[in-house]
Amino acid sequence: MISSKLPTVGTTIFTVMSVLANEHHAVNLGQGFPDFPMSEELVSLVDKAMKDGFNQYVHMNGWPLLRQRLAEKAARLYHAAIDPETQITVTPGGTYAIYTALTTVLQPGDEVIVFEPAYDSYIPNIEINGAKAVRVPLEFPSYSIPWDRVRASINSRTRMIMINSPHNPTGSVLQENDIEELRKTVAGTRILILSDEVYEHLIFDDIPHRSMLRYPDLLERSFVCFSFGKTYHCTGWKLGYCVSAPDMMKEFRKVHQFNCFSCDSPKQIAVAEYLSNENAYLSLSGFMQQKRDFFRKLMEATPFRCIPSHGSYFECYSYGHFSNESDKDLAIRLTKEYGIATIPVSAFYQNGDDNKVLRFCFAKKEETLTKAISKLRNLSV
């Protein structure tokens, strides 16, 4: 027998709800993944790379041309001067990049500030490194960051603040004042930033994405994590990358080289080529905003109340005005009895705080959304 390193952790809510959805043939608006096809051109580029013989290890830091293209993109979009040799590492997905950054930095006893609701891998990834997650709840229902509370939670053991914009599960996004507050909070401290930006291209309402790559003074203390799965509608690819300051990236690579070493080569070759198509990622916000708006309109015919999303592919809805049921019970009941799966937002709070909110994924074909919500119209309240 082994003694568990994560004794309080069960199976991730995404797997729990997707399994339940399959069992009950429910429409799955729970786990976040698109149900429409990815670009055929990008698929062909992978095919071509394999046929051209790119089937062996590439450099452990990532295919050089891919890193170069990513640095050029960061310069165009965020005016960032990133050295692809020393500051970018390609990873098997965003989650791995986050885990690796935490493992690179954390020593037993360190503290990391995490905002709740938090993507469910964050806290276990901190704890498995012997560090402590200091949980700060986002304001409800705006899900904005309570900076005074952040500052009150800081002490000499605080090593990192984790931020995530656009935010999963709530779709909230960083505003200019958040950047100023973040600056004030970390100035003169040893606090690093882990910025989860996997939804960088899914931001709505003409709001600019406030990437840490824009701010040299913040980037020098940041690990910034991205995922091609979200950008190119291929969550199953598990390909992403991390950008950091050269001295921090040097340590990140020490961890990476003995864990994954190098990532899927044909896909790296293909993405390097496909990145020259700027429209493929720049058109994404408009495309997904349309889905959000279509979904929101459908939801008006249900008793749920919208908590507006400004990014990601999720929107949260509250129901406390018509039911006392726990969000987990309601999510299970909707799956079994109404054939629609969602995610209960209490799963993103370590103590299971339940504000009576469900998360819906709207990255679906219009017909899928219409079918799902038609089932909710009959919800007995």
Residue 176's CB: how many other CB atoms inside 10 A? 9
**In the range 184-243, which residues lie near ligand GLN by CB under 6 A?**
none
Beta strands in 215-345, from DSSP E residues, in sequence order: 222-227, 240-244, 305-307, 314-318, 340-341, 343-344
Whole-angstrom distance, CA of residue 318 vs CA of residue 303: 9
Least distance (Å) between residue 34 CB and ligand PMP: 12
Least distance (Å) between residue 108 CB and ligand GLN: 27
Residue nearest to ligand PMP (CB): 93
Residue 132 binding target from ligand GLN, ligand PMP, none, CB below 5 to 8 Å by type: none
3-state SS of 108-136?
Answer: CCCEEEEEECCCCCHHHHHHCCCCEEEEE
Residue 31 binding target from ligand PMP, ligand GLN, none, CB below 5 to 8 Å by type: ligand GLN
Q: Which is nearer to ligand GLN, 31 or 104 (CB)?
A: 31
Q: Which is nearer to ligand PMP, 114 or 379 (CB)?
A: 114
Please work out the total of residues on this chain that contact ligand GLN, with binding judged by CB under 6 A: 5
As to burial, measured by CB atoms within 10 angstroms (0-12 exposed, 13-18 middle, 19+ buried), residue 72 is middle
Q: Which is nearer to ligand GLN, 14 or 215 (CB)?
A: 14
Residue 229 binding target from ligand GLN, ligand PMP, none, CB below 5 to 8 Å by type: ligand PMP
**In the range 151-180, which residues lie near ligand GLN by CB under 6 A?**
168
Three-class SS state of 293? helix
| Strand 240-244, strand 222-227: pairing | antiparallel
Residue 323 binding target from ligand PMP, ligand GLN, none, CB below 5 to 8 Å by type: none
Q: Which is nearer to ligand PMP, 84 or 93 (CB)?
A: 93
At CA 164, angle to CA 335 and CA 12, rounded to 5? 35
Residue 330's CB: how many other CB atoms inside 10 A? 20
Q: Which is nearer to ligand PMP, 235 or 346 (CB)?
A: 235
- Contact (Cβ atoms closer than 8 angstroms) between residue 218 and residue 71: no
Q: Does 31 bind ligand GLN (CB under 6 A)?
A: yes
Whether omega before 266 lies within 30 degrees of 0, making that bond cis, reads no
* List of residues contacting ligand PMP (CB under 6 A): 32, 93-95, 119, 164, 168, 196, 198, 227, 229, 235, 238, 240
As to burial, measured by CB atoms within 10 angstroms (0-12 exposed, 13-18 middle, 19+ buried), residue 206 is exposed
Q: Does 335 bind ligand GLN (CB under 6 A)?
A: no
Site string for ligand GLN, 70-89 (x = CB under 6 A): --------------------
Q: Does 14 bind ligand GLN (CB under 6 A)?
A: yes
Which residue has 């400004």 as its token pair? 310
Q: Which is nearer to ligand GLN, 96 or 281 (CB)?
A: 96
Q: Which is nearer to ligand PMP, 231 or 289 (CB)?
A: 231
| The binder of ligand GLN chosen from 27, 29, 32, 373 (CB under 6 A) | 32
Least distance (Å) between residue 134 CB and ligand PMP: 19
Candidates 256, 276, 270, 277; CA nearest to 59 is 256
Q: Which is nearer to ligand PMP, 30 or 94 (CB)?
A: 94
- Contact (Cβ atoms closer than 8 angstroms) between residue 66 and residue 272: yes
Q: At what angle do helices 265-274 and 40-51 cross, to 10 degrees?
A: 130
Residue 164 binding target from ligand PMP, ligand GLN, none, CB below 5 to 8 Å by type: ligand PMP
Least distance (Å) between residue 381 CB and ligand PMP: 30
Residue type, 338: Y
User: Count of residues for the chain?
Assistant: 381
Least distance (Å) between residue 272 CB and ligand GLN: 24
Q: Which is nearer to ligand GLN, 74 or 347 (CB)?
A: 347
At CA 350, angle to CA 348 and CA 352, rounded to 5? 75
Least distance (Å) between residue 109 CB and ligand PMP: 26
Three-class SS state of 163? strand
Interacting residues with ligand GLN (CB under 6 A): 12, 14, 31-32, 168
